[in-house]
Copies of this chain bind each other. A is one copy, B any other.
Amino acid sequence: MGKEPSAQDREPRYAAIKRHIRDKVECGEWPVHFRVPSENHLAREFGVSRMTARRALSELTDEGVLMRTQGLGTFVAEPVPAGSLLEVRNIADEVSARGHSYSSTILLLEETEASAGVARALGLAEGARVFHSVIVHRDNDLPIQWEERYTNPELAPDYLGQDFSRVTPNAYLTRVAPLTEADTTVEAIAAGDEIAGALQVETGNACLQIWRRTMSRSGIVSFARLVHPGSRYRLGAQLRF
Protein backbone atom coordinates (compact mmCIF):
# COMPACT_ATOMS: atom_id res chain seq x y z
CA MET A 1 0.00 0.00 0.00
CA GLY A 2 2.23 2.76 -1.30
CA LYS A 3 0.09 5.80 -0.71
CA GLU A 4 -3.43 6.74 0.14
CA PRO A 5 -5.81 6.20 -2.77
CA SER A 6 -6.92 9.82 -2.42
CA ALA A 7 -5.63 11.86 -5.35
CA GLN A 8 -2.56 12.19 -7.55
CA ASP A 9 -0.91 14.12 -4.71
CA ARG A 10 -1.19 17.89 -4.55
CA GLU A 11 -3.64 19.22 -7.11
CA PRO A 12 -7.17 19.47 -5.76
CA ARG A 13 -9.97 18.20 -7.94
CA TYR A 14 -11.52 21.60 -8.50
CA ALA A 15 -8.14 22.90 -9.68
CA ALA A 16 -7.87 20.07 -12.20
CA ILE A 17 -11.25 21.02 -13.64
CA LYS A 18 -10.23 24.67 -13.79
CA ARG A 19 -7.06 23.74 -15.64
CA HIS A 20 -9.03 21.63 -18.09
CA ILE A 21 -11.42 24.47 -18.88
CA ARG A 22 -8.63 27.04 -19.11
CA ASP A 23 -6.83 24.86 -21.63
CA LYS A 24 -9.93 24.51 -23.80
CA VAL A 25 -10.44 28.27 -23.75
CA GLU A 26 -6.84 29.21 -24.38
CA CYS A 27 -6.22 26.75 -27.19
CA GLY A 28 -9.31 28.14 -28.90
CA GLU A 29 -11.31 24.91 -28.89
CA TRP A 30 -13.90 26.76 -26.85
CA PRO A 31 -14.24 30.18 -28.52
CA VAL A 32 -15.70 33.32 -27.02
CA HIS A 33 -19.39 32.89 -26.13
CA PHE A 34 -19.03 29.12 -26.32
CA ARG A 35 -21.35 27.39 -23.91
CA VAL A 36 -19.33 25.55 -21.29
CA PRO A 37 -20.66 22.24 -19.94
CA SER A 38 -23.04 22.68 -17.04
CA GLU A 39 -22.19 21.98 -13.42
CA ASN A 40 -24.00 18.67 -13.50
CA HIS A 41 -22.33 17.67 -16.75
CA LEU A 42 -18.86 18.46 -15.43
CA ALA A 43 -19.66 16.66 -12.20
CA ARG A 44 -20.50 13.48 -14.09
CA GLU A 45 -17.58 13.87 -16.50
CA PHE A 46 -15.00 14.26 -13.75
CA GLY A 47 -16.70 12.05 -11.21
CA VAL A 48 -17.02 14.78 -8.61
CA SER A 49 -19.94 16.34 -6.81
CA ARG A 50 -21.80 19.23 -8.32
CA MET A 51 -20.42 21.63 -5.67
CA THR A 52 -16.86 20.84 -6.69
CA ALA A 53 -17.59 21.40 -10.37
CA ARG A 54 -19.40 24.55 -9.35
CA ARG A 55 -16.33 25.82 -7.54
CA ALA A 56 -14.23 25.52 -10.68
CA LEU A 57 -16.79 27.43 -12.75
CA SER A 58 -17.30 30.08 -10.09
CA GLU A 59 -13.62 30.79 -9.61
CA LEU A 60 -13.04 31.04 -13.35
CA THR A 61 -15.94 33.47 -13.47
CA ASP A 62 -14.35 35.58 -10.75
CA GLU A 63 -11.13 35.50 -12.72
CA GLY A 64 -12.88 36.81 -15.81
CA VAL A 65 -12.50 33.68 -17.92
CA LEU A 66 -16.17 32.74 -17.89
CA MET A 67 -19.55 34.42 -17.57
CA ARG A 68 -22.56 32.85 -15.92
CA THR A 69 -26.27 33.62 -16.07
CA GLN A 70 -28.80 31.89 -13.89
CA GLY A 71 -31.10 29.71 -15.91
CA LEU A 72 -29.04 30.07 -19.04
CA GLY A 73 -25.64 28.56 -18.53
CA THR A 74 -21.93 29.33 -18.41
CA PHE A 75 -20.10 30.89 -21.34
CA VAL A 76 -16.59 31.78 -22.35
CA ALA A 77 -16.06 35.50 -21.69
CA GLU A 78 -14.27 37.90 -23.99
CA PRO A 79 -10.79 38.97 -22.94
CA VAL A 80 -10.79 42.17 -20.87
CA PRO A 81 -10.28 45.18 -23.12
CA ALA A 82 -7.86 46.65 -20.60
CA GLY A 83 -5.70 43.55 -20.76
CA SER A 84 -4.66 43.83 -24.37
CA LEU A 85 -4.42 47.59 -24.23
CA LEU A 86 -1.44 47.81 -21.99
CA GLU A 87 1.87 47.44 -23.65
CA VAL A 88 4.75 46.49 -21.40
CA ARG A 89 8.16 47.07 -22.86
CA ASN A 90 11.63 46.34 -21.72
CA ILE A 91 13.54 49.39 -20.63
CA ALA A 92 16.78 48.10 -22.15
CA ASP A 93 15.09 47.78 -25.54
CA GLU A 94 13.66 51.24 -25.15
CA VAL A 95 17.05 52.74 -24.52
CA SER A 96 18.58 50.82 -27.41
CA ALA A 97 15.79 51.99 -29.68
CA ARG A 98 16.79 55.57 -28.93
CA GLY A 99 20.28 54.70 -30.08
CA HIS A 100 21.67 55.16 -26.58
CA SER A 101 23.82 52.83 -24.52
CA TYR A 102 22.13 50.83 -21.80
CA SER A 103 23.72 49.87 -18.50
CA SER A 104 22.55 48.92 -15.04
CA THR A 105 23.64 48.36 -11.46
CA ILE A 106 22.27 45.70 -9.15
CA LEU A 107 21.84 47.27 -5.73
CA LEU A 108 20.20 44.29 -4.08
CA LEU A 109 19.31 40.69 -4.89
CA GLU A 110 18.01 38.55 -2.08
CA GLU A 111 15.44 36.13 -0.79
CA THR A 112 13.32 37.61 1.97
CA GLU A 113 9.97 37.40 3.73
CA ALA A 114 6.93 39.09 2.23
CA SER A 115 5.57 42.00 4.20
CA ALA A 116 1.82 42.25 4.45
CA GLY A 117 1.59 44.63 1.50
CA VAL A 118 3.85 42.57 -0.73
CA ALA A 119 2.06 39.39 0.27
CA ARG A 120 -1.25 40.96 -0.67
CA ALA A 121 0.04 42.14 -4.02
CA LEU A 122 1.47 38.74 -4.87
CA GLY A 123 -1.42 36.76 -3.45
CA LEU A 124 0.84 34.96 -0.98
CA ALA A 125 0.71 34.50 2.75
CA GLU A 126 2.38 37.10 4.91
CA GLY A 127 5.94 36.02 5.67
CA ALA A 128 6.16 33.76 2.59
CA ARG A 129 9.54 33.59 0.88
CA VAL A 130 9.87 35.99 -2.03
CA PHE A 131 12.70 37.23 -4.20
CA HIS A 132 13.54 40.89 -3.84
CA SER A 133 15.69 42.92 -6.19
CA VAL A 134 16.65 46.55 -6.65
CA ILE A 135 18.23 47.62 -9.91
CA VAL A 136 19.06 51.02 -11.35
CA HIS A 137 18.83 51.31 -15.14
CA ARG A 138 20.87 53.89 -17.03
CA ASP A 139 20.56 55.54 -20.40
CA ASN A 140 23.98 56.79 -21.58
CA ASP A 141 25.20 56.35 -18.00
CA LEU A 142 22.48 58.62 -16.66
CA PRO A 143 20.03 56.84 -14.32
CA ILE A 144 16.52 56.75 -15.73
CA GLN A 145 14.78 54.09 -13.66
CA TRP A 146 14.90 52.66 -10.16
CA GLU A 147 13.36 49.21 -10.28
CA GLU A 148 12.38 47.49 -7.04
CA ARG A 149 10.75 44.15 -7.61
CA TYR A 150 9.22 41.37 -5.57
CA THR A 151 8.94 38.07 -7.41
CA ASN A 152 6.93 34.94 -6.71
CA PRO A 153 9.50 32.12 -6.29
CA GLU A 154 7.07 29.46 -7.45
CA LEU A 155 6.71 31.02 -10.87
CA ALA A 156 10.33 32.08 -11.36
CA PRO A 157 12.46 29.77 -9.20
CA ASP A 158 15.74 30.64 -10.93
CA TYR A 159 15.32 34.37 -10.41
CA LEU A 160 18.25 34.76 -8.03
CA GLY A 161 20.58 32.93 -10.40
CA GLN A 162 20.08 35.33 -13.29
CA ASP A 163 22.73 37.74 -14.48
CA PHE A 164 20.68 40.89 -14.43
CA SER A 165 23.51 42.94 -15.85
CA ARG A 166 22.91 41.09 -19.10
CA VAL A 167 19.16 40.48 -19.09
CA THR A 168 16.59 42.64 -17.31
CA PRO A 169 14.20 41.10 -14.79
CA ASN A 170 11.36 42.04 -17.10
CA ALA A 171 12.90 40.14 -20.01
CA TYR A 172 13.64 37.10 -17.86
CA LEU A 173 10.18 37.01 -16.33
CA THR A 174 8.49 37.46 -19.68
CA ARG A 175 10.38 34.41 -20.88
CA VAL A 176 9.70 32.04 -17.99
CA ALA A 177 6.15 33.25 -17.36
CA PRO A 178 4.61 34.99 -20.38
CA LEU A 179 2.51 37.79 -19.03
CA THR A 180 -1.16 37.87 -19.71
CA GLU A 181 -2.18 40.89 -17.69
CA ALA A 182 -0.80 43.82 -15.75
CA ASP A 183 -2.23 46.21 -13.19
CA THR A 184 -0.49 49.52 -13.29
CA THR A 185 -0.90 52.63 -11.21
CA VAL A 186 1.02 55.83 -11.80
CA GLU A 187 1.71 58.73 -9.48
CA ALA A 188 4.09 61.59 -8.98
CA ILE A 189 6.20 61.57 -5.85
CA ALA A 190 8.97 63.53 -4.27
CA ALA A 191 12.22 61.57 -4.29
CA GLY A 192 13.36 60.28 -0.91
CA ASP A 193 17.03 60.22 0.05
CA GLU A 194 17.66 56.66 -1.10
CA ILE A 195 16.04 57.02 -4.48
CA ALA A 196 17.39 60.52 -5.03
CA GLY A 197 20.90 59.22 -4.48
CA ALA A 198 20.44 56.29 -6.81
CA LEU A 199 18.88 58.38 -9.55
CA GLN A 200 21.28 61.31 -9.06
CA VAL A 201 18.63 63.94 -8.51
CA GLU A 202 17.98 66.31 -5.62
CA THR A 203 16.02 64.97 -2.70
CA GLY A 204 12.45 66.17 -3.04
CA ASN A 205 12.56 66.28 -6.83
CA ALA A 206 9.40 65.14 -8.57
CA CYS A 207 9.57 61.58 -9.84
CA LEU A 208 7.18 59.40 -11.74
CA GLN A 209 6.42 56.30 -9.72
CA ILE A 210 4.85 53.30 -11.35
CA TRP A 211 3.50 50.32 -9.45
CA ARG A 212 3.02 47.31 -11.60
CA ARG A 213 1.77 43.84 -10.89
CA THR A 214 2.33 41.36 -13.70
CA MET A 215 0.30 38.22 -14.05
CA SER A 216 0.84 35.08 -16.03
CA ARG A 217 -1.42 32.15 -16.77
CA SER A 218 -0.26 30.42 -13.63
CA GLY A 219 -0.64 33.34 -11.24
CA ILE A 220 0.82 36.61 -10.07
CA VAL A 221 4.44 36.74 -11.16
CA SER A 222 5.84 39.88 -9.63
CA PHE A 223 5.13 43.22 -8.07
CA ALA A 224 7.37 46.08 -9.13
CA ARG A 225 7.90 49.67 -8.18
CA LEU A 226 9.50 51.70 -10.94
CA VAL A 227 10.65 55.25 -10.27
CA HIS A 228 11.73 57.62 -13.03
CA PRO A 229 13.35 60.99 -12.46
CA GLY A 230 10.69 63.40 -13.67
CA SER A 231 13.16 65.97 -14.94
CA ARG A 232 15.04 63.43 -16.99
CA TYR A 233 12.10 61.45 -18.29
CA ARG A 234 9.86 64.35 -19.28
CA LEU A 235 6.97 62.96 -17.28
CA GLY A 236 6.24 64.38 -13.92
CA ALA A 237 3.66 66.40 -12.13
CA GLN A 238 1.69 66.76 -15.34
CA LEU A 239 0.44 63.26 -14.87
CA ARG A 240 -2.35 64.03 -12.44
CA PHE A 241 -5.82 63.24 -13.67
Contacts and interface: CB of A to CB of B under 8 A. Distances in A.
A185 interface: yes
Contact of A187 (B85, B119, B238): B85
Interface residues of A, number: 42
Interface of A: 62, 64, 67, 69, 77-78, 80-82, 85-89, 91, 94, 116-117, 119-121, 125-126, 182-187, 209-213, 226, 233-235, 238-241
B117 A187 contact: no
A126 B67 contact: yes
Nearest to A117: B81
Nearest to A68: B125
Contacts of A91: 241
A82 B183 contact: yes
Contacts of A77: 116, 120
B80 A121 contact: yes
A187 B85 CA distance: 7
